[in-house]
Structure 1
Amino acid sequence: MAASVPIGKTIYCGTFAHCRSLSELDICAKGAIGVDEAGVIAFIEREVEEIEDVIKKYDGWNDAEVLQSGESGFFFPGFIDTHTHASQHPNTGLFGKTTLLSWLETYTFPMESSLSSLSKAATVYSNFVSRTLSHGTTTCAYYATIHVPTTNLLADICLKRGQRALVGRVCMNMMSPEYYRDASVSDAVKDSKASIDYIRSIDPSGDIVKPIITPRFAPSCTAECLAGLGQLAKETGTSIQTHISENKPEVQLVRELFPESKSYTDVYDTAGLLTPKTILAHAVHLSAEEVQTLKQSGTKISHCPASNTALTSGCAPVRQLLDVGLTVGLGTDVSGGFSPSILEECRQAIWVSRFVAMNTADDAKLSTEEVLYLATRGGAQVVGLDGKVGGFDVGMEWDAQHICLGAVKEGGEQEGRFAGNVDLFGFETAEDRVNKWVYSGDDRNTKSVWVRGRLVHRR
């Protein structure tokens, strides 16, 4: 479904839930949220008995469309995927017994290189954007390929569909096959600039799509290439995304490739790539000194638990990162990760934190409230949209999803069009419904998705 222009004002009634803070999930069972023609939340009412009373209270809302959550449904902020590879989508679920470096050679580089074809890229990217939207992802930080035309095509698709996106042309001039790499440092910088310019030309305000400078990771870029991209980021004011300390052999490889650097983090710091607009994926094997460097630079972290487990990379100590004061969001990291669903990453983040707790201390565990925060407000901070999306506050934009769960009828059958793994038996509180969704829900429960008040997906 293509993004549509909002028609007038809309009042969303019923149950809504969002995270007020890392530890506080706010659930309102009888609320009303007014969203104006610009897609901005104009008012929030709690303990609403009659919607007519709300309409009378606010001038100019008599003709507003009214949408109800339904007894077994609720409204929730759109998910924010802070790290994924659109170009790897066809390989989702294909990793076999590989680890990171062998996985790149076996699956990733051949697939990405094939997306120089505009027709093939159009098929893959259109499908993936649709897939992420169907899972309630309203904002996504995408890696494309080294190809400028098809990277630009991904931005076109996101803009047309109305999904917020950071779209990055991947840069690499070493440690990749000869058939798939930048010919030179100057080419890497020039082609990155060309993609930046194009994306800014199709969305000058950056309200929906923005460019992001994307060195693949340190082992695939020379020091000169990293420095050139750091300078480009400084000159253009563009965000940056890359990977760091995903697994131990990768960290050792960085030591060998950059013997003069103190650490993996220092490689990026020296190149001018650590900024408040930088997203580093994984951060599984960081030293205490590296963590402090990231904190001082304002660099953000994308936690990708499913991918880290699938490729046996390790368990990121998210509690430690949060306690130090780093900003953390969640990433699906398709196709290292096996699902485009941030809801799935919420579950995986909980499990990974419990694996960490089994070998450290009980307080390493993440709660349901905390992973939902990382999926929404935390992710908004990571991608530079803090205060704009990720929650339901007056003045924020309506990036949201309508979740519907299946009630069980007498006799045991589930009623409604949104049958899935979540069964409601009638005793559940609003908090119970949210928890059941987190642990058992999927895209079958996502009825509608909005970005800036515009309907971008309907099941």
Structure 2
Amino acid sequence: MTSSNESAVDIAHVYRGTFVHSTDHTAVEILEDRLLGVDTEGKVYSICMEWSAYPCEGRRLVHFVVCSEFFMPGMVDTHIHASQYSYAGTALDLPLLQWLNTYTFPVEACYKDLEFARNVYTHVVKRTLRNGTTTACYFATIHTDASLLLGQIANDFGQRALVGKVCMDTNNFVPHYRETPEESHDETNRFISEMLKKKYPLVRPVVTPRFALSCSAALLGHLGEIAQNNHLHIQSHISETKEEVKLVKELFPDYDSYTDVYHKHNLLTDKTVMAHGCHLTDEELKLFREKGASVAHCPNSNISLCSGMLDARRVLNHKVKLGLGTDVAGGYSPSMLDAVRRTLDTSKALTIQDPQYQTLTFEEVFRLATLGGSQALSLDEHTGNFQVGKDFDALRVNPRGPKLLRSLGVVKSQVCSGSFFSPSLFPLPPSGDDRNIAEVYVAGKRVVPFVERP
């Protein structure tokens, strides 16, 4: 794979080592002893085996990766509540709707305080980057200025992000944490306008109705128009619990389904990502496929709040785009490696219930965490794998980090052999953690380790 315009491209860096990624046709492709060139715009220029692909000056910019390390694409978190990071890992003793009213809404109301927001948002962006999340789709809160601050912080640290100001005009349990339809409409427009004026290279706004239970039909209609008029992404929640599905039917009795509520308000598009979907029907999944909308699978949250277990195989069989999400703080971990593990666990639990069930393979889940996530967010033209022309979003992985090799029983001779990188032994997500991630790159720029700012 090489660039068609080699002589006109300036090479910024060349990396030599093993590259592991997914393609549309192969769940895990392992490219050993390759040279990957990154141009001055941060895009993959070429990935090949011969120095002849690079101008002479490019050959002086090579970075050698030791034989025990490899590169993989950055991971894509398709659903995370940045505003809930402050209590991640606690308060998981209630089912979803009671959990929201008891813990989530009171905490989110605090984000009118910009210093509070700055502190939490700085921590969550740094933590997710350190864990290898190069792209994040964030829920913020109803507060416009705090949501803009989250976008600024993601930009400052170099993370690729979709940032959403939450919209909700129905909240009878915490009355001071809601908007009128007019306020939500006007503030969403202000948020989008001010975010776009910043012209951040990697951070974009996303239209964010919290979910149908917290939005009137009038507000949903306004948000559908805003997304359509500005060609924006849309994110929300759908069919997380059976109780939620039942209440949506009661509130919107004239619609065929939960999915139909979004569809009829122009909120189900090829730029829509809906979190959870544990209880979607086959008919709803057909509508997802028809409209090009995607599902964010959040297994940690689904299990922690006892919401349900998404049958990811059924979603894939319907040819619906599927990515993974941490769903902090319903999910207690901000790590996409945890999302990978929990996805495998959920699939195996479904197999325990039905021995005929086709369990997801690790290779499939690796693709969901990388290329699948970029497809779910309609960002796969820019990121997701090492295809020539895409941005170099990458992790340099050191499998010899703490615990990992000891737990696998891998010896040095295996590490340096090609067999170490066979899909059956490929080690990072099942047993690694952030300590195995040596460097993180977004659009060709190294963003981890962090550079201390003045």
TM-score (norm 2): 0.92
Distance of 1:434 and 1:21 partners within structure 2 = 22
RMSD (CA atoms): 1.7
1:135–1:442 CA contact under 8 A, matched in 2: yes
Instruction: Name the aligned partner's letter for residue 185 of structure 1.
Output: P
> Is 1:145 paired with 2:136?
no
> Is 1:26 paired with 2:29?
yes
Q: How does 1:3-42 map to 2 (within 5 A)?
A: 9-21=12-24, 23-42=26-45
Distance of 1:369 and 1:353 partners within structure 2 = 13
Q: How does 1:327-346 map to 2 (within 5 A)?
A: 327-346=321-340
> Is 1:158 paired with 2:161?
no
1:422–1:437 CA contact under 8 A, matched in 2: no
Q: How does 1:229-268 map to 2 (within 5 A)?
A: 229-268=223-262
Instruction: Name the aligned partner's letter for residue 214 of structure 1.
Output: T
1:189 corresponds in structure 2 to 185
Pick aligned residue for 2:288 from 282, 285, 294: 294
1:8–1:64 CA contact under 8 A, matched in 2: no
* Cα deviation code 1:60-114 (max 9, x no counterpart): 5346422222122100000011000000001101133211011101211111111
1:364 corresponds in structure 2 to 358
Pick aligned residue for 2:446 from 441, 445, 455: 455
1:177 corresponds in structure 2 to 174
SS of equivalent to 1:9: strand
> Is 1:58 paired with 2:54?
yes
Runs of at least 5 residues in structure 1 that lack an aligned partner in the other structure: 1-6, 47-52, 407-417
1:320–1:364 CA contact under 8 A, matched in 2: no
* Cα deviation code 1:379-423 (max 9, x no counterpart): 1111121132110111111000100122xxxxxxxxxxx424443
1:209 corresponds in structure 2 to 203
1:85–1:335 CA contact under 8 A, matched in 2: yes
Runs of at least 5 residues in structure 2 that lack an aligned partner in the other structure: 1-9
Offset, 1:258: 1.3
1:84–1:140 CA contact under 8 A, matched in 2: yes
1:411 corresponds in structure 2 to none
Distance of 2:430 and 2:345 partners within structure 1 = 11
Distance of 1:325 and 1:141 partners within structure 2 = 22
Pick aligned residue for 2:429 from 438, 441, 449: 438
Closer/same/farther in 2, CA of residues 363 and 433 from structure 1, 3 Å limit:
closer
Pick aligned residue for 1:349 from 338, 343, 346: 343
SS of equivalent to 2:422: helix
Distance of 1:298 and 1:318 partners within structure 2 = 17
1:395 corresponds in structure 2 to 389
2:402 corresponds in structure 1 to 419
Instruction: Name the aligned partner's letter for residue 217 of structure 1.
Output: F
> Is 1:68 paired with 2:68?
no
Instruction: Name the aligned partner's letter for residue 425 of structure 1.
Output: V
Distance of 1:331 and 1:156 partners within structure 2 = 22
* Cα deviation code 1:291-345 (max 9, x no counterpart): 1111111111111011101001111011111111100000010000111111111
Distance of 2:403 and 2:191 partners within structure 1 = 41
Instruction: Name the aligned partner's letter for residue 441 of structure 2.
Output: W
2:376 corresponds in structure 1 to 382
SS of equivalent to 1:365: coil
Closer/same/farther in 2, CA of residues 304 and 30 from structure 1, 3 Å limit:
same
SS of equivalent to 1:435: coil
Q: How many residues are matched?
A: 432
Instruction: Name the aligned partner's letter for residue 339 of structure 1.
Output: S
SS of equivalent to 1:364: coil
Distance of 1:386 and 1:325 partners within structure 2 = 16
Instruction: Name the aligned partner's letter for residue 21 of structure 1.
Output: D
1:108 corresponds in structure 2 to 104
Percent pairwise identity: 39
2:11–2:37 CA contact under 8 A, matched in 1: no
Pick aligned residue for 1:200 from 187, 190, 196: 196
1:422–1:440 CA contact under 8 A, matched in 2: no
Instruction: Name the aligned partner's letter for residue 33 of structure 2.
Output: K
